[in-house]
Structure 1
Amino acid sequence: MDVLLFLIPALPLAGALVNGLLGGLLPRALRAGIAVGAVAASCVLTLVLWPLAAGTGTRATLFTWLDSGSLQVPVEILFDPLSASMTLMVTAVSTLIHLYAAGYMEEEVDTARFFTLLNLFVFAMLLIVLADNLLLLFLGWEGVGLCSYALIGFWYAKTQNAAAGRKAFLVTRVGDVFLGIALLWLFSLFGTLSISSINAQAPLLDSGTLLLLTLLLLGGACGKSAQLPLMTWLPDAMAGPTPVSALIHAATMVTAGVYLLCRLFPLISLSPTGLACIALVGALTALYAASCALVQTDIKRVLAFSTMSQVGFMMLAVGVGSVSAALFHLLTHAFFKALLFLAAGCVIHLAAGENDLTRLGGMRKESPFLFWMFLIGVLCLAGAPLTGGFFSKDGILLADFARATPFYWTTWALSSLTALLTSIYAFRLLYLVFLGEPRDRRTKSPYLPDTMRWTLPPLALAGLLGGLLNLPPLFGGTERLTMFLGDLAGATLHVGLAVEWFLLLLATALFALGWALVHLRLRYELRSPSGRFGDFLLRAWRVDDLVARLVVRPFQWVGEVLWLWGDRRLIDGAVEGTGRLCLAGGELLRRWTTGRLSTYLYSLAGGAAAILIYLLIRAW
């Protein structure tokens, strides 16, 4: 029975292999059916095997991957409450995204490559989630990086799409270097790469080592989860098809960093300074991304910055020591962010490929159904009372406030400000897309494929009811997710009933204030960002310019110097100079081969004279 756990990641891999090897020979519908069926079967199998996750979970070993001296790396997975919850979310949301993609890509020619990469993406993410070995986890870690590169640049004929894929690949590689160093260091310290063993032996390490390891793991997480300072790739990742954006933002790649820290929480929790660094990075990233989302004019870029901000909340939850709060928000965010991205794809489909907010508007009249779906996503994102996003975000703010230190009260204040900004940009997006009148846009067709339309209601329902996963006692709940996680849930911090009601009312007030500001100031009309500050936010604090000056341009300059002086002058010069020398020598020798007898006699006499002179000098 335990071996069946390996079928959970194996089924999407099988789907990728079938489409990759035979997809070009199969009908279009069958390609999509194989991809959807593989992930759906993985989801069903997760539900069937769910009892194996109870308690400390179930560990299953398939075979030994590497065995050299003290290094033993088995292909081993751990199906415990943490990994099981993530696995169910990944497979369920990915199934809906795959089904949506079947309709979204119906006019695309190369669907075999698309669905191969989409299935491979899910397989790599499941490998990260289920692995109980850091090397196996690292294999999945690199797998999602490769798939993101290929899917973001799927339409590589356009230069900007290919550039976006390369940017994602290179920036995330920086974080991977940190994770790779941490992996090697952990092996040198413990002689094993087993995550369970490392967590069990972590108390043996001194505080300095724990801090450095935590910072290295944080660096790796920042790359995959697009946190400061390795966040510049995520907004450009919108170059890929919308189902790819939904998969990256909701179910797979950007949550990998958060999951890594949760999986190794027994280690990083031993370093209070390390946890504070994680909390600070999360709070600052959340505020940074929310401020950028306020002024974006591309519908998908708004959602991209939103994802960056919401993942910042998850990182903050890990930093305050609450794995359950981080996982709770990760799950609810997956539901409503997938809903928002897929609904945005429907908007773009109906608007003939238009995604510029300056040219959208009035979509509510054209598709009331789509308006209500998008509204539910916006309410969850903005933290409307009683929605899933409200409970999960409030749980993070509560855990942060309960730390009761000046540092964590500061991160709480930053996060509360971010919650207000989230409400503002979420409702701004809703107003600009659906309310008012259309602005310079031609509608392609009111038709939406059924596979695109009917994947939205399940996500909307999950987003609205997601709070039931970990409903707090204040609302009559039992915090089921926290109880299910058990010892994996992290610290449990309590505050008085009056404080809890205060934080609850404050969260509601921030939501209402954000909506009121948008309603009173926007009034259904677009106000483009103006002035230096608006341009500063629109260009994401000019971080790309800073990276270009500090990293890209110096690298290009070094490359140009090496090309000019190393390649052209030294290497090419040496090779071409040797060739010219040979040609000159050949030309000189050619002059002695005139065919005239007198020339040969002179040469013979000259050579004889040279020999005699040499012998006389030696004799002397």
Structure 2
Amino acid sequence: MTFLVTAAAAEPGAAPAYAWLLIGLPLLGAAILLLGGRKTDSFGPLLATGLSWASFVLALPLLFAMLGRAPEDRAVEHVLYSWIRAGSFQLDAGILIDPLSMSFVLLITFVGSLIHVYSLGYMKDDPGHVRHEGHTLSAWEESRQPSERRRFFAYLNLFIAAMLLLVLANSYPLLFVGWEGVGLASYLLIGFWNHNPAYATAANKAFIVNRVGDMGVIAAIMAMFAAFGATDFAGVGAAAAEADTGVLVLIGLLLLLGATGKSAQFPLQSWLGDAMAGPTPVSALIHAATMVTAGVYLIVRSAPIFNNAPTAQTAVAVIGAVTLLYGAVVGMAKDDIKKALAASTMSQIGYMMLAAGLGPAGYAYAIFHLLTHGFFKAGMFLGAGSVMHGMKDEVNMRRFGGLSTFMKITWITFGLGWLAILGVPPFSGFWSKDAIIETAFIGEGIRPWLLGGAALVGAGITAFYMSRLFFMTFHGKRRWSERDYHPHESPPTMTVPMMVLAAGSALLGLILAWPFAETKPIVAWLEPVVGYGGSEAEPVLAIPVIIALTLIFVAIGAFVAYRMYIQEDVPTTAPVGSWGTQAARADLYQEEVNRTLFEQPGVALVHGLEHTDRSGVDGTVGGLATWIGDLSSRLRRIQNGFARSYALTMLTGVVLFLGAVWVMQ
């Protein structure tokens, strides 16, 4: 099928006029809670949760209406107002509703609302920063707690609203407004306990690293305007078909830079592990359904650009392959349960980027894995929060073990997510991740062997470190004292969202893949937006062979973890380990690399410019002023008040003047 540009066939005004409420409702919640002050403490969290669910409910009739139309008519647009008008250039602010944006809307509002519900229980007794410093609350600190909780839910609503704006925007500039809104909200949530200096530093790090990527998006928008005279999706998509390849490669690489920052891909992934400083529901929100998926959305939404810029498209695939291996290796050595899950997120987003870099054959599978990942990763993060809830906020897995006896619901729901991410059939990850691995083996030359091999090896490593996490937490010998810890199951407000997400982890992949259909439902759903979700070419290995190899790698990884963390005793203190283990614990020294290649040269450049400014510019100006001052001081001496001195000076001047005239004659 010929590739269809998402918004080209959109009918302005065809979308319901109330579609903007998808964004407006959670934004209203954030405004009420932030501006209403302490008067909203009592009902604020419930209001924020209700408005988040309201957006999901509002999205359902839009989905059903879309399903009732022919596939080619499912992209509709609602123009809100004329936003930018400059000469002949005009840009409307509008909402674009198509299968791609609707997939994200349903994921964001449903999973995000479940996280809101979970937060009602998780944050109920949270005494803010004092809890994490081991202090007793004073009366003043006790009085502040409702405000802290209300502020947390305001930030959650702001995050949901910004992410919805990002995926519903009809142009790159409006997308960028949501893009920056997500960055702001993530900064506020990661640094929610900012009384802890380390947490404040983590928020700053996430904010600053993302600004590097944001510069790429800004530059890409500028390049679009310069090259095409348009920045809306329809205009850019139409112009890209006939644009110069070099320009498209430049724009594609700039967009990729933005995606690497927001989706924590190499080399801008260093902020993700530190983002665990925020409360656990924040980790689930950022790492599952919202922020880190924004980069994948940007690449897939920009399909017309990348389809006509093979070099940029290959760069996307390479970055994805490198990151999926990088995150997997780092995850093997992390003892912090949340940081191990963060490394897993980095790796799984790498799979999505790899698929997006495979072109029309991979776009649908990138979104497919994004949707399934949103359920099983959110479920595991919430499960990690449940473990922390029952273990006095302990995050070191070496101090867990045997918790399945005390937290059966958390164990079962987390276990379903674990099976899903491993890709064990028939759980969700099997259908979505294996589709990416199979597609990666399509191509000519060495490329399919490198990309497919990286995806295959990544699956094996994922099985090892996720099994390591699962076994160290829920199985094996207890490595905690009943005197210090009293593990217990979480309240229903926390366990019910976990059960819903676990159900999605088990069934969503099968539903979206449905092997009995001629075409996978997810592929048929996204085809009008991203093109044909398949390839006429066959993989370099037969599909049954790829599936068998994947399952063998997964089985080996899980078995090695079983031998190391079930059959052998796990020390409560991490051993020194090999040089490879030490490197993985240090995130493969990415911080040191960034510091050496970027930070130190940048600091040296600033110091050099400062020295030049002081010794050069300031020195020149200051030296000139000093010379004039000295000259003035010397000339001032002849002003002594004696008439004979003035007469002598005048006589000298006359003599010199007459002498000069005589010489000139």
| TM-score using structure 2 length | 0.85
Deviation at 1:466, TM superposition (A): 1.2
Residues 1:71 and 2:71 aligned together: no
Q: Deviations over 1:501-525 (max 9, x none)?
A: 2222222222222211111232253
Q: What is the 5 A alignment of 1:498-517?
A: 499-517=542-560
Look up the match of 2:403: 363
Aligned CA distance change for structure 1 residues 520 and 68 (closer, same or farther; 3 Å): same
Amino acid in the other structure paired with 2:584? L
Aligned CA distance change for structure 1 residues 363 and 312 (closer, same or farther; 3 Å): same
Q: Which runs of 5+ in 2 are unaligned?
A: 1-14, 129-144, 656-665
| Larger RCO, structures 1/2 (Cα 8 Å, 6+ apart) | 2
Q: Deviations over 1:12-53 (max 9, x none)?
A: 11111111101422234x111121111110011011221443
Aligned residues: 600
Deviation at 1:425, TM superposition (A): 0.5
| 8 Å CA contact retained: 1:403, 1:493 | no
Q: SS of 1:205's equivalent?
A: coil
Deviation at 1:550, TM superposition (A): 1.7
Match for 2:292 among 250, 254, 273? 254
Q: SS of 1:62's equivalent?
A: strand
Aligned CA distance change for structure 1 residues 102 and 607 (closer, same or farther; 3 Å): farther
Aligned CA distance change for structure 1 residues 604 and 79 (closer, same or farther; 3 Å): closer
| 8 Å CA contact retained: 2:303, 2:530 | no
Match for 1:144 among 182, 200, 215? 182
Aligned CA distance change for structure 1 residues 543 and 69 (closer, same or farther; 3 Å): same
Match for 2:277 among 239, 242, 262? 239
Q: Which runs of 5+ in 1 are unaligned?
A: 590-602
Look up the match of 1:317: 355
| 8 Å CA contact retained: 1:2, 1:58 | no
**Structure 2 Cα separation of the partners of residues 266 and 187 of structure 1:** 16
Amino acid in the other structure paired with 1:2? P
Look up the match of 1:594: none
Deviation at 1:423, TM superposition (A): 0.5
Residues 1:547 and 2:631 aligned together: no
Q: SS of 1:75's equivalent?
A: strand
Q: What is the 5 A alignment of 1:264-343?
A: 264-321=302-359, 322-343=362-383
Amino acid in the other structure paired with 2:593? L
Match for 2:108 among 72, 78, 90? 90
Deviation at 1:383, TM superposition (A): 0.9
Deviation at 1:206, TM superposition (A): 2.4
Match for 2:195 among 144, 147, 157? 157
Match for 2:394 among 338, 348, 354? 354
Match for 1:448 among 482, 485, 490? 490
Match for 2:118 among 81, 87, 100? 100
RMSD value, Cα: 2.8
Aligned CA distance change for structure 1 residues 499 and 565 (closer, same or farther; 3 Å): closer
| 8 Å CA contact retained: 1:470, 1:478 | no
Amino acid in the other structure paired with 2:527? G
**Structure 1 Cα separation of the partners of residues 323 and 540 of structure 2:** 30
Q: What is the 5 A alignment of 1:112-127?
A: 112-127=150-165
Match for 1:464 among 488, 506, 510? 506
Residues 1:10 and 2:17 aligned together: no
Residues 1:493 and 2:535 aligned together: yes
Deviation at 1:437, TM superposition (A): 2.9
Match for 1:420 among 460, 464, 473? 460
Look up the match of 1:44: 57
Q: Deviations over 1:169-200 (max 9, x none)?
A: 11111111111111111111221111122112
Question: Which of the pair is proportionally richer in helix?
Answer: 1
Aligned CA distance change for structure 1 residues 618 and 568 (closer, same or farther; 3 Å): closer
**Structure 1 Cα separation of the partners of residues 224 and 272 of structure 2:** 29
**Structure 1 Cα separation of the partners of residues 46 and 644 of structure 2:** 91
Aligned CA distance change for structure 1 residues 573 and 301 (closer, same or farther; 3 Å): farther
Amino acid in the other structure paired with 2:99? P
Q: SS of 1:420's equivalent?
A: helix
| TM-score using structure 1 length | 0.90
Deviation at 1:566, TM superposition (A): 4.8
**Structure 2 Cα separation of the partners of residues 501 and 26 of structure 1:** 58
Q: SS of 2:488's equivalent?
A: coil
Residues 1:482 and 2:523 aligned together: yes
Aligned CA distance change for structure 1 residues 382 and 572 (closer, same or farther; 3 Å): farther
Q: What is the 5 A alignment of 1:82-231?
A: 82-106=100-124, 107=126, 108=128, 109=145, 110-231=148-269
**Structure 2 Cα separation of the partners of residues 40 and 330 of structure 1:** 21
**Structure 1 Cα separation of the partners of residues 611 and 303 of structure 2:** 50
Q: Deviations over 1:525-573 (max 9, x none)?
A: 3264602111011111111111112222233344455567757998799
**Structure 1 Cα separation of the partners of residues 393 and 184 of structure 2:** 27
Q: SS of 1:430's equivalent?
A: helix
Q: Deviations over 1:101-148 (max 9, x none)?
A: 122222242123222221111111111101111110011111111222
Amino acid in the other structure paired with 2:377? K
| 8 Å CA contact retained: 1:339, 1:460 | yes
